[in-house]
Amino acid sequence: MAGVVFVAVAVSLVTWSLKRPTPTPLPLSRFPVSLPQNQMLNEEESGIAVSPDGKRLVYVGGVGRNSQLFLRELDQVEGIELPETKGALWPFFSPDGKSIGFSVGGKLKTLSLDGGRPKTLCDVSYLVGASWGSDDMIYFSPAVTTGLYRIPAAGGVAEVVTTPDKDEFSHWWPEVLPGGKAVLFTMWKTTLSDTCVAVLSLKTGQSRTLLIGASHARYAPTGHLLYAQSGTLMAAPFDIEQLKVGEPRCPVAEGLNQSLDSGRAPFCFSQDGLLYYARGGEWLARRQLIWVNRQGEEVEPLPLPPRAYRHPRLSPDRLRLAFTKLEGDTLNVWVYDLPSGLASQLTFESNNMLPLWTLQNGNKLTFTSYPNGPYDAYWMPASRSSPKEPLVTGPYDQIASSWSPDGKMLLFTEDSPVTGRDIWLLPVEDGNAPRSFLCESWDEWGAVFSPDGDWIAYASEAEGTSEVYVTPYPEPVPQKISTDGGYHPVWSRDGKELFYRCGDKMMALTIETEPEFRVIDSEVLFEGQYLTGARRNYDVSGDGQRFLMVKESEEQPAATQLIVVLNWFDELKRLVPPP
């Protein structure tokens, strides 16, 4: 069925392209393009790019960390996997539409779409946007906490272009303006509300703010600036000579799948008005927290109204549930009492998420907060009897993932601009001096202690794609235990099973740790399109027989669809007169 739909779309687009020279405005046409189930948009990293002539579309497909780049030619029925792009993110086109750039395995690469193998340009910790200029220079953000860099597309040495000021966290999502004299970029500070769209003059080296509370800006040849704001695609007149934004500033697409964490917005358009965008995400989320048994049967939803829920975490006694909830454009941690059915808000100021109970008694909740730019780990009493206090802070993102059973050691992930995601330890009773535990040239994250504290399970991209590993503690000796991808491990309470996600699958490993660690059995418990994402979005009951999952509403836009708008520039000029 997806192939039939795409054939119809392709015919429409080709027919439309033949009519483009006529000066008569063509009617606006908006419809979804269906993708095969195995090519569903990666909702966390949903990068999409269309070639300047509108004839080629490249997008990130796959579930969770197991992503892949797909290419769809408009005159072809099926999309194809691009070679050597497993795990790739953030595709972007060359000006002639014959090549793409992307990041994979900690490298910035380019690939000719006419054949050949990817070419490596330089190292990147985590690409946060890139743009290929007409002068064959690629501008990019190589890490979460850096300014912009540039490098010749033919290869060479990367050089610094911008450096964030002391009140700025990072510079992301560059877009080279026509003529190559200036670059748009997103200036991230603390949250979406104070994030700015800025422009850099390449002649003077000076930058200035254009818009506040906006991100991921792109320039349209109609003389408009397109940008994301609170889950809405906005448009405003833009004087490209004076680099000034005019009025009015109007919404042109609602329910954009914009990231709360980076301002990323999955939309792209060709030079003659073919628009693609993805709807959904937190801005349209109406999710349920629901119990699912080992056979995949949905046995009991929690009596909470549908909201944008994330990160459910059960307390040690399994009587309380902490979770993240989005309201407006702010994330906060809530606590739900299972016996009474009462929910109360734990955090209020800034953005707070990823709750984690202390294991000794569950009296405190650890969570991630970013009041000053990078993510830091805080904690506070679950009773709210005192305010939050910092546990570990630093210049890079620090995200808590697990407490040791005795409550003396905290595992957390640090995002390094050099080595990517690394696993660290914080000895709480030892002067709060963190120390590295696993710090390699590839990503490791999501580490969790076993119930006896002798083992740590985590996800790693040591082999290029995400797999689950275990290691003894305190001396690391990594051992891969998943075979076909995996992430977000959770131990059973008795330590005899290890659960993890693999795409839509919930996996269970039966294990032994004496006389050595070994996997006795591996099975798929169930499959279902429950929320995945870069962070863990499920938890396990005390007896290991039920899983608390996050289920999307049936009204949630499908991850197997892109919205396509034909003749969009005529509509854009009608809504927002150009300068």
- Same domain flag for 385 and 241: no
The residue among 471, 494, 517 that closes a domain is 494
Total domains, the chain: 2
Residue 272 has which token pair? 């003659």
Element (H, E) at 5: helix 2-19
State percent of the chain over pLDDT 90.
61
320 part of a folded domain = yes
Answer whether residue 43 shows pLDDT above 70. Answer: no
Cβ neighbours of residue 173 under 8 Å, at least 6 residues apart?
128, 129, 141, 185, 186, 215, 216, 217, 263, 264
Q: Evaluate if pTM is beyond 0.95.
A: no
Residue 113: inside a domain: yes
20 and 141 in a single domain? The answer is yes
User: How high is the pLDDT of residue 298?
Assistant: 96
Q: Do residues 261 and 327 both lie within one domain?
A: no
Mean pLDDT of the chain: 88
Q: Is residue 46 part of a domain?
A: yes
Residue 19 has pLDDT above 60, yes or no: no
Examine the domain organization and report whether 32 and 79 are in the same domain: yes
Torsion-angle region of 332 (φ positive above 0: left; ψ -120 to 50: alpha; else: beta):
beta
Distance CA 287, CA 298 (A): 14
Same domain? For 90 and 141 the reply is: yes
Same domain? 111 vs 205: yes
Q: What is the mean pLDDT of residues 527-549?
A: 92
Burial 418-456 (b: 16+ CB within 10 A, else e): ebbbbbbbbebeeeeebeebbbeebbbbbbbbbeebebb
CA 364, CA 344: separation in Å to the nearest integer? Answer: 15
Tell me, yes or no, whether 269 and 330 share the same domain: no
Same domain, 117 and 215: yes
Domain termination residue (choose one: 469, 494, 519):
494
- Report pLDDT for 79: 80
Per-residue pLDDT band for 15 (boundaries 50, 70, 90) equals: very low
User: 543 exposed, middle or buried (CB, 10 Å; 0-12, 13-18, 19+)?
Assistant: exposed
Tell me which residue of 184, 174, 166, 95 sits closest to 131, measured CA to CA: 174
Per-residue pLDDT at 293: 97
- Taking the C-alpha atoms of residue 231 and residue 478, their distance in angstroms, rounded to an integer, is 41
Tens digits of per-residue pLDDT, 400-437?
999 999 999 999 999 887 888 899 999 987 677 899 99
The reply to whether 351 and 265 lie within a common domain is: no
Question: What CATH number has the domain bearing residue 192?
Answer: 2.120.10.30
Co-location of 262 and 313 in the same domain = no
Segment 337-355, tens digit of pLDDT: 999 999 999 998 778 999 9
- Asked if the model's pLDDT at residue 5 lies above 50, the reply is no
pLDDT, position 415: 86
- Domain boundary residue, one of 467, 494, 521: 494
Q: Which pLDDT does position 11 carry in this prediction?
A: 41
27's tokens = 């009617």
* In-domain check, residue 371: yes
What pLDDT, in 10s, does the model give residues 91-120?
A: 999 999 999 999 988 899 999 998 889 999
pLDDT band per the 50, 70, 90 thresholds, residue 234: very high
Pair 99, 242 in one domain: yes
- Band the pLDDT of 554: cuts 50, 70, 90: confident
Q: What is the pLDDT of residue 395?
A: 81
Q: Which domain holds residue 30?
A: 2-283+558-575
Which is more confident, 31 or 308?
Answer: 308
Residue 518 lies in a domain: no
Q: Is residue 411 part of a domain?
A: yes
Question: Is there a domain that residue 393 lies in?
Answer: yes
pLDDT band at 16 (very low <50, low <70, confident <90, very high): very low
Which residue type sits at 340?
S
In a domain, 81, yes or no: yes
Strands 479-480 and 137-140, by their bridges, are: unpaired
Q: Are residues 143 and 265 in the same domain?
A: yes
Banded pLDDT at 558 (limits 50, 70, 90)? low
